[in-house]
Amino acid sequence: MLRETIEASGLADICDRVETGERLSREDGLRLYACSDLNTLGHMANLVRERMNGDKTFFVRNQHINYTNVCNKGCKFCAFYVLPDQEGAYTLSIDQVKQRVREWLHEPVSEIHMVAGINPRLPYDYYLDILRAVKEIRPGVRIKAYTMIELAEIQRVAKKPIEEVLADLKEAGLDSVPGGGVEVLSDRVHAEIFHLKLNPAGWLEMARKVHEAGLKSNATLLYGHIETAGEKIDHFLQLRELQDETNGFLAFIPLAFHPDNTEMDQLPSTTGFGDLREIAIARLMLDNFPHIKSFWIMISPPMSQVSLWYGADDVDGTILREEITHAAGATTPQALTHAGLVEMIQEAGRVPVERDPLYREIARAS
> CA 162 to CA 96: how far, in whole Å?
28
Contact 363, 354 (CB under 8 A): yes
Looking at 50-58, 76-84, 201-209, 301-309, which segment touches ligand V47 (CB under 6 A)? 76-84
Contacts of 82 (CB under 8 A, 6+ apart): 69, 70, 71, 88, 89
Query: Nearest to residue 26, comparing CAs of 308, 277, 235?
Result: 235
Interacting residues with ligand V47 between 94 and 153 (CB under 6 A): 115
CB of 238 to ligand V47, least distance (A): 16
Work out which of 66, 218, 243, 304 binds ligand V47, going by CB under 6 A: 218
Q: For the stretch 269-293, what's the b/e string if a residue is b when 16 or more beta carbons lie within 10 angstroms of its beta carbon?
A: ebeeebbbbbbbbbbbbbbebbbbb
CB of 197 to ligand V47, least distance (A): 9
Which residue's CB is nearer to ligand V47, number 173 or number 178?
178
Which residue's CB is nearer to ligand V47, number 179 or number 311?
179
**β-sheet bridge partners, residue 59:** 354
Work out which of 174, 255, 279, 285 binds ligand V47, going by CB under 6 A: 255
Q: Does 67 bind ligand V47 (CB under 6 A)?
A: no
> CA 185 to CA 180: how far, in whole Å?
12
Q: Does 183 bind ligand V47 (CB under 6 A)?
A: yes
Work out which of 92, 145, 152, 222 binds ligand V47, going by CB under 6 A: 222
CB of 135 to ligand V47, least distance (A): 19
Size of the site for ligand V47 (CB under 6 A): 22
**By beta-carbon distance, which residue lies closest to ligand V47?**
180
Looking at 8-16, 207-215, 254-262, 358-366, which segment touches ligand V47 (CB under 6 A)? 254-262
Contact 110, 60 (CB under 8 A): yes
Q: Does 325 bind ligand V47 (CB under 6 A)?
A: yes
Looking at 3-11, 72-80, 156-164, 200-208, which segment touches ligand V47 (CB under 6 A)? 72-80
Contacts of 98 (CB under 8 A, 6+ apart): 133, 134, 136, 137
CB of 256 to ligand V47, least distance (A): 6
> CA 73 to CA 71: how far, in whole Å?
6
Which residue's CB is nearer to ligand V47, number 18 or number 330?
330
Residue 253 phi/psi, 5-degree rounding, is: -130, 110
CB of 20 to ligand V47, least distance (A): 31
Contact 67, 97 (CB under 8 A): yes
Which residue's CB is nearer to ligand V47, number 43 or number 211?
211
Phi/psi region, residue 134 (left: phi>0; alpha: psi -120 to 50; beta: rest), is: alpha
Looking at 26-34, 42-50, 174-182, 336-344, which segment touches ligand V47 (CB under 6 A)? 174-182
Q: Does 335 bind ligand V47 (CB under 6 A)?
A: no
Interacting residues with ligand V47 between 272 and 311 (CB under 6 A): 295
Which residue's CB is nearer to ligand V47, number 9 or number 300?
300
> CA 215 to CA 174: how far, in whole Å?
9
Q: Does 179 bind ligand V47 (CB under 6 A)?
A: yes
Residue 98: CB atoms within 10 Å: 18
Contact 134, 166 (CB under 8 A): no
Work out which of 24, 324, 335, 353 binds ligand V47, going by CB under 6 A: 324
CB of 332 to ligand V47, least distance (A): 12
> What single DSSP character describes residue 52?
H
> CA 194 to CA 212: how far, in whole Å?
27
> CA 176 to CA 80: how far, in whole Å?
23
Work out which of 11, 41, 44, 78 binds ligand V47, going by CB under 6 A: 78
**β-sheet bridge partners, residue 64:** 113
Applying CB under 6 A, the residues found at the interface with ligand V47 are 77-79, 115, 178-181, 183, 218, 220, 222, 253, 255, 257-258, 262, 295, 316, 324-325, 328
